[in-house]
Amino acid sequence: MYLVKEGDESEAICPHCKTLVTTHYRTRTYRLVSSGVDVPGALVAVCDLCDKVAAIPAQTTPRIGEALQRRKEESLEARIPTHLEDVIRLMANHYEAPVQTFRPGLLRFYLRELASDAQFAERVNALAKSDMARGPARARISLRAPEALLSEARERARRVGIGTDAEMLRGLLLAAKEDVLDGGDSQRTLRLGGAAQAEGAACPKPPPPAGPRRARSR
Amino acid sequence: MGFKDVRMLLIEALRSRQYGYEERADLAEKNLLAAKQVTPGFVIQLLWRCSGLEYESRKHHLYPHLLCHVFKPVLDGERWYVKAYFVSTRAIFISVHR
């Protein structure tokens, strides 16, 4: 595969100077003008006359593709009570994963569960309207996810009566708490563990053995 | 250089990844090869599909000393537009779109 490197010289027709110019390859944030997407760290052929981008080598294509793909991903932003943000941290702790890398994976995992499981969606709705979902919304949650995933999850949420993204997230986090921290769904706990492991978490922990609950001593 | 020579040179450039793209404001929409919406293999397929009647050469719109090669093949019922030129032995694609 042919590769150019920073500093290499080439020739191109500069669309700004409107002539054949000598160029040098430089690393720049390249802007796709019509779509307003920035491609950071792109190797581009820069015109020696006007210092603007004149051409782009083939090897930069994956970066352009990634930047365009990122734009296609939608973002979800909502505010949630502090105790629900704590759920995320407790779950990251459970899987021995750094919270920053675990959080997006956790939320996308539960969005997928919501989008694909009508029964789970009913449960999320009930949890979103429970007393545990209430509280001053002080913590801000922000997530980028594929457009299709977000729209499917929102559509499912809307059908079961969840009105907002914040309500959806509250319900999802309470479901996650029940599934993992309270040991309510061992299958989902293991699947989430597998996903967390891919993000660098420790091996998924086996669910606690089910048995008769002991009476507390006091 | 005739149609078949130009086509072979472009195919060789695509195979060896020895090509680039001309900067344009609407690159994401008008150069689907640059935007990674189509693969080099797909463009090779388009070029093979093109007949001599669907090819023309014309002067570059900004720099008339240079000749551009325009291919307009039909694939799966869709007319494609591929425009490129050669500079410093490299192929530069200006357009790859429907």
Nearest to A34 among B17, B29, B85 (CB): B29
pLDDT in tens, A75-88: 888 999 999 999 99
| Mean pLDDT of chain A, nearest integer | 88
Mean pLDDT within A31-41: 87
Mean pLDDT within A187-203: 78
Interface of A with B in 43-72 (CB under 8 A): 44-45, 52-59, 61-62, 64-65, 68
| The pLDDT of residue A218 is above 50 | no
pTM assigned to the model: 0.61
| The pLDDT of residue A146 is above 70 | yes
Q: Could you please report the per-residue DSSP string of A150-191?
A: HHHHHHHHHHHT--SHHHHHHHHHHHHIIIIIS---HHHHHH
In this complex, is the C-beta atom of A169 within 8 Å of any C-beta atom belonging to chain B?
no
pLDDT in tens, A163-177: 889 999 999 999 999
pLDDT in tens, B1-44: 889 999 999 999 999 999 999 999 999 999 999 999 999 999 99
Nearest residue in chain A measured CA to CA from B60: A13
CA gap B94, B91 in Å, rounded:
10
| The pLDDT of residue A109 is above 90 | yes
Mean pLDDT within A15-34: 93
Rounded to two decimals, the ipTM of the complex is 0.92
Confidence of residue A2 (pLDDT cuts 50, 70, 90): confident
